[in-house]
Chains A and B, each alone.
Chain A
């Protein structure tokens, strides 16, 4: 699955460049870049359309922290790098679709999945006692029927921390990658546990596997992951 259409890629680069230029006026800039592995899970026997909204491609978080600096954190590239292999590993087949409306015309799809990055928080310690930079983020995973009906809106959060050494920007980058891996791990391991997903899979004649990597260890399905936001 390719998540890099040329026009979007250019837009994203422009957005990052603009943000970095703005942040360059005495601020801290982080462009989160990493490679993410394909998950080692049993593939669900469905063909999914994947809609990556522009906001996710171009996600840039800015925050002016009093007594510190203006932080600009670009996660667009990392989102693409994380979600591509993740969905490829989770579903038998994936196909990029530009919009939900276009997916409706594609009869080969069993459903459509649309991830959004809803929340992002981070903390850079200032005191000598604190050693870790922390990042918390929350995706919202929405699954649609091919006709556009919503199957589930599932918030998935991820938390990551990284030791603060000399470079705070590097520590934020590493903590963000840990948080994204955590969110990806939750999506990969808990997706088929969601009651709505089980029902949807049953409805299309492809029941979710009862045992296997995606089955719950304790069998307790929840509609929200367990990570908590930063305090």
Chain B
């Protein structure tokens, strides 16, 4: 039994090493505008798609991350912003382009209401986390002498998100940040299943939040090469 366990552990080690997260971040900033004192950011999910929608908790994670810490920015609550701007930021009415935004802000009372919220930057979150692959299997058995499982299960999640930043004061598209985080989780079972789970969505939230903070606070939108993350950076972060 002991030998079997050792063989199992030896076999599982390479697979355990295979689990982790691969990240790709591509910021693209079109202007050199930066957020000023007293200006707020609001993070909103794009809800027009029928097949996917950025998860509520992911949007909240970015909002919270952006406002956290010493370098925290002034972040307006998404729900509060949608309520104050109702019915103009609902799935069917939200502006899809800065041209739409221009039309919207020309409506009586709308620009005044935006000013009242203090929001200068609207960050649209588009994308989702999906399971893209899975395989393997675990078999469990129980008898008089005890119970145990053998086998290996694995799965791969892909977190792909686009952040689009609009300046509602100057009515322009500031740029985008694209993120693709892939994470592979494995669960070897040698008598007992041992879950080794990676959560690419959590990594994507942290990566995008850091990148978004730089985007909003530095004219070029990202740190210079040599410091991380760089534009179109690909890295193993697991």
Contact = CB atoms under 8 A, between A and B. Distances in A.
Interface of A: 36-42, 128, 131-132, 159, 161, 163, 178, 181-182, 184-186, 188-189, 212-213, 217, 226-227
B91 A182 contact: yes
A184 B53 contact: no
B137 interface: no
Nearest to B113: A40
Contacts of A41: 87
Contact of A213 (B90, B110, B128): B110
User: What DSSP secondary structure best describes chain B's contact surface?
Assistant: loop
Given A40-B109, A212-B107, A217-B103, A189 B87 contact: yes
B2 interface: no
Given A212-B108, A213-B108, A213-B109, A181 B87 contact: yes
B92 interface: yes
Contact of B86 (A39, A128, A227): A39
Contacts of B90: 181-182, 185
A41 B107 CA distance: 9
B83 interface: yes
B181 to A, nearest CB: 18
A37 B86 contact: yes
Nearest to B56: A163
Which 8 A-B residue pairings sit nearest by Cβ, starting from the closest? Answer: A185-B87, A37-B86, A37-B83, A185-B90, A213-B107, A188-B87, A39-B87, A185-B93
A163 B90 CA distance: 17
B110 A40 contact: yes
Contacts of B110: 40, 213
B54 to A, nearest CB: 10
Given A161-B53, A181-B87, 7 more contacts: A37-B86, A40-B110, A181-B86, A182-B92, A184-B86, A185-B86, A185-B90
B88 interface: yes
Contact of A178 (B84, B91, B93): B91
B55 interface: yes
